[in-house]
Amino acid sequence: MLLTTSLSLTIIHFLLFILCISAVLFYCYGIYAAFAFFHHPHLGKLNFHPPVTILKPICGKDDETYNNLVSFCQQKYPNYQIVFCVRDPLDCGIPVVKQIIHEFPELDIELVVCEDIIGTNPKVSNLANGVTKTKHEILIIADSDIRVGIEYLQRIIQPLEDKSVGVVTCLYRSVAKGWASILEAVGTATDFHAGVLVSNQIEGIKFAFGSTIVIRKEVLDEIGGFGAIADYLADDFQLGYLPTQADYKVVLSDYIVDHVLASSTIADSIQRQIRWARCIRVSRPWGYLGLIFTYGTVTSLLLLIATGGSTIGCAVFAITWLMRLVMGWVVGVIYLQDSGVQKFFWIVPVRDVIGFLIWCYSLFGRTIEWRGRRFRLIKGGKLVEMTNNIMFG
Residue 2 has a pLDDT of 46
Alpha carbon distance 371, 103 (integer Å): 31
Q: Tell which residue, 125, 124, 128, 82, has the closest CA to residue 107.
A: 82
Interior/surface letters 17-34, b for 16+ CB within 10 angstroms, e for the rest: bebbbbbbebbebbbebb
Alpha carbon distance 229, 227 (integer Å): 5
DSSP 190-248: IIIHHHHHHHHHHH-----BTTBEEEEHHHHHHTT-GGGGTTBS-HHHHHHHHHHHTT-
Alpha carbon distance 162, 248 (integer Å): 10
> Who has greater pLDDT, 45 or 347?
347
Q: Tell which residue, 141, 44, 29, 127, has the closest CA to residue 85.
A: 127
- β-strand 213-216 against 108-113: which pairing, if any? unpaired
The beta strands (E) that lie in 73-149 are given as: 80-86, 108-113, 138-141, 146-147
Residue 368 has a pLDDT of 85
Residue 239 has a pLDDT of 95
Cβ atoms of 353 and 339 closer than 8 Å: no
AA letter at 338: D
State pLDDT tens for residues 175-216. Answer: 888 888 899 999 999 999 999 999 999 989 999 999 999 999
| Domains of the chain with CATH codes | 13-38+283-384 (no CATH), 52-272 (3.90.550.10)
Crossing angle of the two packed helices 122-131 and 235-245, in degrees rounded to 10? 60
State pLDDT tens for residues 349-381. Answer: 999 999 999 999 999 988 888 777 788 888 888
Q: What is the 3-state secondary structure (H, E, C) of 135-150?
A: CCCEEEECCCCEECCC
Residue 392 has a pLDDT of 38
State pLDDT tens for residues 248-306. Answer: 999 999 999 999 987 778 888 888 899 989 988 988 888 899 999 999 999 999 999 99
State pLDDT tens for residues 121-161. Answer: 999 999 999 999 999 999 999 999 999 999 999 999 999 99
Residue 230 has a pLDDT of 93
Alpha carbon distance 119, 137 (integer Å): 24
pLDDT band at 43 (very low <50, low <70, confident <90, very high): low
Alpha carbon distance 289, 22 (integer Å): 14
Q: What is the 3-state secondary structure (H, E, C) of 289-345?
A: HHHHHHCHHHHHHHHHHHCCCCHHHHHHHHHHHHHHHHHHHHHHHHHCCCHHHHHCH
Rounded to 5°, the CA angle 50-53-56 comes to 150
Cβ atoms of 163 and 315 closer than 8 Å: no
Alpha carbon distance 385, 387 (integer Å): 7
